[in-house]
Amino acid sequence: MGKRHRSKFLRGPHINPTAVSGTETAADLIDNAFLAYNGGRLREAARLFADRMLDESVTVGMSLTGAMTPAGLGMSCLIPLMEAGFVDWIVSTGANLYHDAHFALGLALHRGSPFVDDIALRKQNVVRIYDILFDYSVLLRTDYFLRQVSARPEFQRAMTTAEYHYLIGGYLRERERALGLTGRSVLGAAHACGVPIYTSSPGDSSIGMNVAAQALDGSLLRFDVSGDVNETAAVVFDAKCRGKSGVLMIGGGSPKNFILQTEPQIQEVLGIDEKGHDYFLQITDARPDTGGLSGATPGEAVSWGKVDPDQLSQSVVCYLDSTVGLPLLTAYALARRQRRTLKRLYERRAEMNAALVVAYQRARAARDQRALAAEGTE
């Protein structure tokens, strides 16, 4: 009988973990015991992030959805990631940034139970985010702070959401110091680290609601959404000119699309020759089969030009709760990787925008020719 050839499908490492002792670090536990199913995907994600995405040549963007900051993940994970140079720019829901401000203002959010009488909560002026409870005055005091700051002269103009968040972050950082607090605010830390933070739907949060209210009083503050679209594209274009672009997506929603659409903006709309993001890492509980963007796979993103097809193997999707996945991913990266030099992209926005304009002007004629040629293909 001839020699039997081993199947190529059986070449992976044997499943042979050591017994959990209780003395392991989180990173050691992930490497040793997270071997299959979504544990296996989290291990792959952690290694992709630490081993490849955190190379000095990679610019890392993060999208953030779900009520992460009310749950304390801003303080426990996002601030350490920014300060270590592991996240270079962010697209977040406005709600996460609004709730982030509570902590810098010294306002209290409490752990509670999701199994409470919401009518009773309303009568007692208590607000609930699943199992997080806080007094209604937290909202009112945060609203007042935002209105007072946004009424200042430096805010009386059109600006990108990155500019607005940078300015607000500076005031939140001052308030932290005045209260004797440190490491409380994502916006404050982003201000200090030069990490630009964008909001894909600036009107869809209490920040946007307060800005809208001030418009009724004659405020000149306006969010420049076109500026956000072009500026985020400029960040990615700069990343690809200098090295690689990686995206870490916590949840899905509008921020996920906004961080990924930078590549179609560069390629399809501006006509610049590019191939897509190099690394795609997502933690989500959204299914792909419903057709929603939140659950759309990296393979689907390739078809849109959002992800480089040659780099599709450098993609991982973890189907688990972000409040579980993000702390573990953060712990792994901080344990396995040295701090990176801060890229301070906020301070380079004008330079990056100018480079994008030059590339666009060179590509515009060819882009229009391709569009005209496409008219006869249907």
Positions marked active-site: 306
Separation CA 263–CA 185 (nearest Å): 30
- Would you state the torsion angle of the CA atoms of residues 359, 365, 368, 369, taken in this order, to the nearest 10 degrees? -130
Angstrom CA distances, 110 to 71, 103, 154, 207, 237, stand at 9, 12, 35, 22, 42
* DSSP string of 154-210, one letter each residue: GGSSEE-HHHHHHHHHHHHHHHHHHTT--S--HHHHHHHHT--EEESSTTSSHHHHH
Separation CA 251–CA 321 (nearest Å): 9
Angstrom CA distances, 279 to 103, 134, 244, stand at 32, 38, 8
Sheet holding 132-135, edge to edge: 110-111, 132-135, 126-129
Separation CA 326–CA 199 (nearest Å): 20
b or e along 14-38 (b: 16 or more beta carbons within 10 Å of the residue's beta carbon)?
eeeeeeeeeeeebbebbbbebeeeb
Angstrom CA distances, 255 to 84, 204, 221, stand at 23, 12, 22
The two tokens of residue 339 are: 């701090």
Separation CA 125–CA 135 (nearest Å): 6
